[in-house]
Structure 1
Amino acid sequence: MFLVHENFPSVHIFFTIYLSIYLSIYLSIYLSIYLSQFVTVYLSIYLSIYLSIYLSLLQSIYLSMFLSIYLSIYLSIYLSIYLSLLQSIYLSMFLSIYLSIYHRLFIICLSISDDICLSIYLSLLRSIYLSIYLSIYIIYINRTIKSIYLSIKSCIHPFDSLVDE
């Protein structure tokens, strides 16, 4: 099914991708809980760039270009949403834009060989719009969830005294 390169050990490709994504998520959770915010931001960016390079190298050996770009976009969106939920909203907006720009930059530089400047420009433009849209959408979802929670809590609150009696 997949072509195996002679110089690369034959490891099941989906297991390696799954393991790298799992480790990055696990490390991001661990770092966001136990370390300061700036170290978390720095290491999350480092992990994101590392995984972009890793997926691009796997793409050149095993995967088609579209699957590799799909995985990197999925990882970028997942990391942006995850970091937006864990960090304050302004820091996460900056970080998701930053992550998306570097994801596209590395994927485009390592994957596409023709007309690189136009590809980088279009990719950066798309990633900025996507990140701003995701951040605004997350703000909206967060406010919606809070308002639903508060409305349910305010509806239940008058009946709390009846239940206690």
Structure 2
Amino acid sequence: MSVCLSVCLSIYLSIYLSIYLSIYLSIYYLSIYLYLSILSIYLSIYLSIYISVFLSVCLSVCPSACLTVCLSVRLSVCLSSLSVCLFVCLSVCLSVCLSVCLSIYLSIYLSIYLSIYLSIYLSIYLSIYLSIYLSIYLSIYLSIYLSIYLSIYLSIYLSIYLSIYL
């Protein structure tokens, strides 16, 4: 019985933990992905504005205003496209790598942990616990029950027997 219970519990825990962890980790990756996308948008806007303002102020001192405008616009476009490309590459690579590595690690860890540790622990624990509990409980219960039952039964039986035959 304890082996069956430990096997059932290990199967239940493995299924429950794998489903729970996969849902939790997917939500966690989504939050990381959302954070990275907001960060890349912020960086691209910040860099484009900063570079254009910086270049226009610094190069306005120089006589060629046309050069300033051309360079600032081209540089801001280049930097914003670079930041978007970098974000897309990093977020995709990071999410794929993390999801694959964590799913492999968790599946191996959970299968080993749940199959070996829990089955051994539960079988030993349940067998020892049940044997000790049942032996103590049954001995106390039977001794109390038999003492009460026998005292009541014998007193009634003896009183009836003595009243009839005496």
Q: Structure 2-normalised TM-score?
A: 0.39
- Which structure shows the bigger proportion of residues in helix conformation? 2
> Which of structures 1 and 2 has the bigger CA Rg?
2
